[in-house]
């Protein structure tokens, strides 16, 4: 009893020490109830926190920035949550001591915990109230000044990158154009430039903007990309019209040093209309664009442009290895050998190398690699992923061509052998023969149209020039050709109607069953040696068998080809005769027998009255072409007959008799003839030709051979000659121009285009023993190829002040278009020209056995950036005299001993 009494007294004393407010009593008496409320409110706060976090996460994914107020609230919630866990744990611990609740220490502890629980309830209520009233939890982030982009393989890109980077660093260059075919790496190069600019923003530039300008992209989409990069709010920007957007862009960009990267430009993009200030040295802005069309660079006023070419072999192989993997390549030497073949089939196109390399990464057997090589060789489109990733991408360039005529001309180029160098004129001949180009217009207008189309295809990077060959040669990249063949085979209108088996080393023609449904058959560049049978081809329009080894065609072979319009049997050296059935092809319009071995053409050739284009040139074995054949081809528009016919074959009724004099008579009968090239072999025939205004007006190619007794050759200034060859004229002393429309030559090179031999592009002179000079060449501004050989008396080509009495006052106009100069066996030649010339187009010069030629007419800037080859004897080169040894140093790297 005494102990119990003592405890009560102590408890009473302690209770008197605790303030007896209602709140304190509640904190003690209702601790469990308040704790339960705290747990409930803690759960509600956790739910609210999770909701806010979700809204923040969504905003962050939308490129927004969490507001500081929200970020602080979340941080305070986390801190309070930790405090609540501590308080609730303490309450749980105290509740375990309920048997001692009357102890003074227990009462004091309950008092403190109860008060803390009430305080935390207030804290939770405060945070709940604040968090429940959040509107937007995040704001739009200001866009980064430059976006880093994922970068693909950059093998072989270093030199191109360095060039573009140097252009960027040049204050005088504002707009840079990068062009090249699809899949060649233009976008990868632009991406590398973008990423390299990250380190320059803030120093040299304020902002870098990337925008794609694809074919189907609306111009306003590019504006939107620029506006987004500049940080315009969507709600304001989307209400603007195009002009308002342009004004807004201009107001911002005119104050900034910006770089605008435009990828995949297909047509001119008007910077001013978009609101982009034109880059200048003053605003220090730059625009870099990529395109598949070179002319887009020019139309956008690019101060510098760079063509991205396919990779050289070493770089291509390195890229292919990286995609296949060394482990696979080292499995077997045979796989490595096939890998080289497969990589070569990709022809240096990075996209093709990557696609094929990745596809072969898991192929580990020789059979799989051999199959891949065969498939690529026959049809790249059938290889895994090539149609989807490469061919279809390349086809965009085809789809973007301006009209169906241009598209048809392009597709026709694919029908030549792989890696074939296409002669522009021969190509246009075929387009005309096929009817792709309009045959009704003047033939020279048609040729101009053909050259325009070739230019269009080159600008679109679908055709390209041939390095180290004159400009009249072009070629088609292998992958572009595969794309074209895929288009030909896949087009519904032509599917199954075109048989193409070119350059496959065939020794036998395809089975006749494959011929019978075809409209066009191309079997060029094979080794087919005979054509037998009598195939029924009622719809066949074109039969191309050029560059084969034909020796025999069966007599009835052409019996059932009533619609055949074009036949090409050129360069079949062993084909000595045409079968009788050939002369029944009454629909034939285009016939090419050039460079064939045919010895005689039948009088029945005159039955082919629809012939418009006839090529019987360079037929070295041709002995007989009967009279009354050519004159009975009334629709003939073009005739090539040079370097054919054996001159000593005096056969009655043969137009080659009498030095081709009868040929001249025959040709004058052709009323529709518009283009002629032929050979004259006697002075009398030459005089007859010179008197014929009809023939002079249509002759574009003239070969003058064996004209003994001719001392002066006069060329009329109105002639449309593209090429002239003079050979074995032993008495020829001078070539002169007869000026039509006036008796005197133009003075001082004025108005050349109106009076001189403008079209003449090629001149060959051989074995003219007494010819001394060629002063008349100063009146031939477009000469691009000049070859002089075995002219024993030739002392100079042109001289100063003595060219038909005209002084050369503008040296840049002389030989200004000359690309190739060949001088061979000219023992007396001392000068090409008496003073240095610019030779602004000269690419190659060959000099052999010209011992007195001690000086070349070069100055420091002659042939600048054009020359690639100078060949001759080493002793001759070392013995040349130079006005300045620095000039010799300039040309030394291009010399090749021969």
Strands of the sheet with 473-475, listed across from one edge: 422-423, 473-475, 464-465
Angstrom distances, CA of residue 260 to CA of 177, 199, 306, 346: 12, 16, 17, 33
Q: What is the pLDDT of residue 9?
A: 46
**What whole-number distance in Å separates Cα of residue 670 and Cα of residue 685?**
17
Instruction: Name the pLDDT band for 218 (thresholds 50, 70, 90).
Output: low
Which residue has 């050039």 as its token pair? Answer: 594
Q: What is the pLDDT of residue 584?
A: 95
Task: Calculate mean pLDDT across residues 881-885.
Answer: 89
Q: What is the pLDDT of residue 77?
A: 82
**What whole-number distance in Å separates Cα of residue 156 and Cα of residue 609?**
57
Short-list 738, 676, 730, CA closest to 703? 676
Q: What is the pLDDT of residue 6?
A: 42
Asked whether 656 and 647 are in contact (CB, 8 A), the reply is yes
Short-list 650, 645, 591, CA closest to 620? 645
Q: What is the pLDDT of residue 19?
A: 52
Other beta carbons within 10 angstroms of residue 833's beta carbon come to 21
Asked whether 258 and 145 are in contact (CB, 8 A), the reply is no
Q: What is the pLDDT of residue 570?
A: 96
Which residue has 């060219």 as its token pair? Answer: 803
- Tell me the average pLDDT of the chain: 85
Please tell me whether residue 357 adopts helix, strand or coil conformation: helix
Q: What percent of the chain stands above pLDDT 90?
A: 49
Written as one string, the DSSP assignment of 407-440 is HHHHHHHTTSPTTPPEEHHHHHHHHHHHTSS-SS
Short-list 246, 248, 243, 287, CA closest to 265? 287
**What whole-number distance in Å separates Cα of residue 815 and Cα of residue 778?**
7
**What whole-number distance in Å separates Cα of residue 727 and Cα of residue 706?**
7
Which residue has 């709940």 as its token pair? Answer: 128
Short-list 154, 282, 149, CA closest to 208? 149
The pLDDT of residue 98 is above 60: no
As given in the structure block, the two tokens for residue 874 are: 């080493």
**Run of H or E including 724:** strand 723-727
Write the pLDDT tens digit of every residue in 420-435: 889 898 899 899 988 8
As given in the structure block, the two tokens for residue 111 are: 């008092």
The pLDDT of residue 704 is above 50: yes
The pLDDT of residue 583 is above 50: yes
Short-list 64, 66, 63, CA closest to 53? 66
Other beta carbons within 10 angstroms of residue 883's beta carbon come to 12
The pLDDT of residue 280 is above 80: yes
Task: Calculate mean pLDDT across residues 547-559.
Answer: 96
As given in the structure block, the two tokens for residue 226 are: 């620029």
As given in the structure block, the two tokens for residue 511 are: 């089975």
Asked whether 606 and 583 are in contact (CB, 8 A), the reply is no
Instruction: Name the pLDDT band for 317 (thresholds 50, 70, 90).
Output: very high
Q: What are phi and psi of 446, to 5 degrees?
A: -65, -40
Write the pLDDT tens digit of every residue in 456-496: 999 999 999 987 777 888 999 989 998 998 888 765 445 56
The pLDDT of residue 588 is above 90: yes
The pLDDT of residue 688 is above 90: no
Written as one string, the DSSP assignment of 382-409 is GSTTHIIIIIHHHHHHHHTSSSHHHHHH
Instruction: Name the pLDDT band for 853 (thresholds 50, 70, 90).
Output: very high
Q: What is the pLDDT of residue 500?
A: 83
Please tell me whether residue 109 adopts helix, strand or coil conformation: helix
Written as one string, the DSSP assignment of 25-45 is HHHHHTHHHHHHHHHHHHHHH
Q: What is the pLDDT of residue 10?
A: 44
Q: What is the pLDDT of residue 634?
A: 94
Asked whether 444 and 675 are in contact (CB, 8 A), the reply is yes
Task: Calculate mean pLDDT across residues 692-718.
Answer: 85
**What whole-number distance in Å separates Cα of residue 896 and Cα of residue 733?**
33
Task: Calculate mean pLDDT across residues 143-151.
Answer: 81
**What whole-number distance in Å separates Cα of residue 358 and Cα of residue 324?**
6
DSSP classification of residue 654: B
The pLDDT of residue 551 is above 90: yes
Question: Which residues 6+ apart lie within 8 Å of 647 measured at CB?
Answer: 656, 659, 681, 705, 706
Question: Which residues 6+ apart lie within 8 Å of 150 measured at CB?
Answer: 191
Written as one string, the DSSP assignment of 808-827 is ---GGGTTTT--EEEEES-T
Asked whether 457 and 487 are in contact (CB, 8 A), the reply is no
Q: What percent of the chain stands above pLDDT 70?
A: 88
Write the pLDDT tens digit of every residue in 710-757: 888 888 877 888 999 999 998 899 888 877 655 445 444 444 444 467
Short-list 681, 726, 684, 679, CA closest to 699? 679
Top pLDDT among 549 and 219 is at: 549
**What whole-number distance in Å separates Cα of residue 142 and Cα of residue 155?**
35
Asked whether 591 and 641 are in contact (CB, 8 A), the reply is no
Please tell me whether residue 211 adopts helix, strand or coil conformation: strand
Q: List the single range of 476-480, 693-697, 797-801 with lowest mean pLDDT.
A: 797-801
Short-list 572, 428, 404, CA closest to 491? 404
Asked whether 181 and 397 are in contact (CB, 8 A), the reply is yes
Helices (H), ranges, 305-349: 313-324, 326-329, 333-345
As given in the structure block, the two tokens for residue 751 are: 């108005």
**What whole-number distance in Å separates Cα of residue 873 and Cα of residue 820?**
18
Task: Calculate mean pLDDT across residues 675-679.
Answer: 92
The pLDDT of residue 38 is above 80: no
pTM score, whole prediction: 0.75
Short-list 66, 70, 64, CA closest to 231? 64
Angstrom distances, CA of residue 412 to CA of 22, 202, 532, 544, 815: 103, 53, 27, 12, 34
**Run of H or E including 613:** strand 613-615
**What whole-number distance in Å separates Cα of residue 610 and Cα of residue 603?**
16
Go through 362-377 and write b for each residue having 16 or more CB atoms within 10 A of its CB, e for each that does not: ebeeeeebeebbebbe
**Per-residue 3-state assignment (H helix, E strand, C coil) for 554-588:** CCCCCCCCCCCCEEECCCCCCCCCCCHHHHHCCCC
Q: What is the pLDDT of residue 190?
A: 95
| First-to-last C-alpha distance (Å) of the chain | 135
347 φ/ψ sector (left φ>0, alpha ψ -120 to 50, else beta) = left
Q: What is the pLDDT of residue 246?
A: 92
Instruction: Name the pLDDT band for 303 (thresholds 50, 70, 90).
Output: very high
Top pLDDT among 438 and 105 is at: 438
Short-list 300, 484, 475, CA closest to 397? 484
Q: What is the pLDDT of residue 741?
A: 56
Write the pLDDT tens digit of every residue in 170-198: 999 999 999 999 999 999 999 999 999 99
Question: Which residues 6+ apart lie within 8 Å of 864 measured at CB?
Answer: 840
Asked whether 598 and 578 are in contact (CB, 8 A), the reply is yes
**What whole-number distance in Å separates Cα of residue 806 and Cα of residue 808?**
6
**What whole-number distance in Å separates Cα of residue 246 and Cα of residue 196?**
28
**Run of H or E including 370:** helix 366-378
Short-list 692, 689, 696, 694, CA closest to 710? 689
């Amino acid at each position: 009893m005494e102990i119990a009494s003592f405890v009560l007294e102590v408890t009473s004393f302690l209770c008197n020490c605790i303030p007896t407010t209602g709140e304190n009593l509640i904190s003690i008496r209702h601790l469990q109830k308040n704790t339960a409320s705290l747990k409930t409110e803690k759960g509600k706060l956790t739910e609210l926190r999770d909701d806010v976090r979700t809204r923040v996460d969504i905003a962050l994914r939308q490129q927004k920035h969490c507001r500081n107020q929200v970020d602080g609230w979340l941080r305070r919630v986390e801190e309070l949550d930790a405090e609540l866990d501590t308080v609730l744990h303490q309450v749980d611990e105290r509740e375990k001591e309920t048997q001692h609740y009357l102890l003074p220490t227990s009462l004091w502890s309950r008092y403190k915990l109860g008060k803390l629980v009430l305080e935390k309830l207030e804290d939770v209520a405060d945070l709940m109230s604040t968090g429940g009233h959040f509107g937007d939890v995040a704001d739009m982030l200001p866009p980064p000044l430059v976006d880093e982009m994922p970068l693909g393989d950059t093998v072989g890109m270093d030199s191109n990158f360095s060039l573009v980077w140097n252009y960027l660093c040049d204050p005088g260059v504002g707009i840079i154009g990068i062009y090249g075919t699809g899949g060649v790496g233009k976008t990868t190069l632009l991406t590398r430039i973008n990423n390299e600019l990250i380190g320059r923003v803030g120093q040299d530039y304020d902002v870098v903007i990337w925008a794609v300008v694809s074919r189907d992209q609306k111009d306003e989409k590019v504006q939107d990309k620029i506006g987004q990069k500049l940080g315009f709010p969507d709600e304001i920007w989307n209400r603007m019209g195009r002009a308002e957007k342009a004004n807004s862009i201009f107001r911002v960009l005119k104050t900034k040093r910006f770089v605008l990267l435009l990828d995949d430009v297909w047509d001119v993009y008007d910077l001013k209309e978009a609101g982009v200030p034109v880059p200048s040295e003053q605003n220090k802005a730059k625009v870099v664009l990529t395109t598949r069309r070179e002319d887009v660079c020019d139309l956008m006023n690019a101060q510098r442009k760079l063509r991205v070419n396919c990779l050289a072999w070493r770089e291509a192989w390195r890229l292919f290895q990286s995609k296949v993997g060394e482990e696979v390549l080292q499995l077997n030497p045979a796989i490595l050998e096939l890998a080289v073949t497969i990589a070569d089939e990709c022809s240096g196109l990075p996209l093709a190398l990557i696609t094929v390399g990745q596809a072969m990464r898991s192929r580990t057997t020789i059979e799989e690699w051999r199959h891949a090589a065969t498939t690529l060789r026959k049809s790249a489109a059938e290889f895994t992923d090539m149609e989807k990733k490469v061919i279809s991408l390349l086809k965009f360039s085809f789809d973007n061509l301006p009209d169906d005529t241009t598209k048809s001309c392009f597709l026709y180029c694919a029908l030549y052998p792989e890696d074939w160098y296409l002669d522009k004129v021969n190509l246009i001949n075929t387009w005309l023969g096929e009817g792709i180009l309009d045959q009704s217009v003047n033939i020279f207008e048609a040729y101009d149209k053909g050259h325009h189309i070739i230019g269009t295809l080159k600008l679109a990077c679908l055709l390209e020039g041939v390095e180290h060959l004159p400009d009249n040669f072009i070629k088609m990249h292998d992958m572009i050709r595969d794309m074209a063949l895929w288009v030909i085979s896949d087009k519904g209108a032509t599917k199954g109607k075109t048989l193409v088996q070119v350059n496959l080393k065939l020794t036998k023609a395809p089975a006749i069953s494959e011929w019978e449904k075809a409209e066009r058959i191309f079997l060029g560049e094979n080794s087919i040696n005979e054509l037998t049978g009598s195939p029924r081809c009622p719809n066949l329009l074109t039969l191309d068998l050029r560059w084969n080894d034909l020796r025999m065609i069966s007599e009835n072979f052409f019996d059932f080809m009533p619609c055949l319009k074009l036949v090409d049997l050129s360069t079949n050296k062993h084909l000595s005769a045409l079968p009788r059935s050939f002369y029944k092809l009454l629909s034939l319009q285009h016939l090419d027998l050039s460079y064939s071995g045919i010895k005689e053409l039948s009088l029945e050739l005159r039955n082919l009255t629809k012939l418009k284009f006839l090529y019987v040139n360079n037929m070295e074995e041709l002995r007989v072409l009967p009279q009354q054949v050519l004159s009975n081809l009334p629709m003939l528009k073009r005739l090539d007959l040079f370097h054919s016919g054996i001159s000593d074959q005096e056969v009655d009724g043969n137009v080659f008799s009498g030095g081709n004099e009868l040929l001249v008579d025959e040709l004058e009968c052709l009323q529709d003839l518009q283009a002629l090239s032929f050979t004259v072999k006697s002075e009398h025939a030459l005089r007859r030709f010179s008197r014929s205004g009809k023939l002079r007006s249509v002759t574009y190619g003239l070969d003058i051979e064996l004209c003994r007794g001719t001392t002066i050759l006069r060329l009329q200034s109105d002639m449309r000659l593209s090429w002239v060859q003079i050979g074995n004229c032993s008495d020829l002393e001078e070539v002169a121009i007869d000026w039509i429309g006036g008796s005197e030559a133009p003075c001082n090179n004025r108005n050349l285009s109106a009076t001189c031999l403008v079209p003449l592009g090629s001149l060959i002179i051989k074995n003219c023993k007494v010819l001394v000079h060629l002063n008349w060449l100063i009146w031939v501004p477009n000469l691009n190829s000049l070859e002089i050989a075995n002219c024993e008396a030739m002392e100079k080509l042109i001289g100063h002040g003595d060219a038909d009495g005209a002084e050369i006052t503008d040296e840049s106009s002389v030989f200004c278009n000359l690309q190739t100069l060949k001088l061979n066996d000219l023992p007396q030649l001392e000068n090409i020209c008496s003073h240095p010339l610019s030779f602004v187009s000269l690419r190659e010069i060959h000099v052999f056995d010209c011992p007195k030629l001690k000086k070349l007419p070069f100055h420091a800037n002659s042939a600048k950036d054009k020359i690639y080859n100078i060949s001759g004897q080493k002793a001759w080169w070392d013995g040349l005299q130079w006005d300045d040894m620095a000039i010799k140093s300039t040309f030394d790297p291009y010399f090749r001993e021969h």
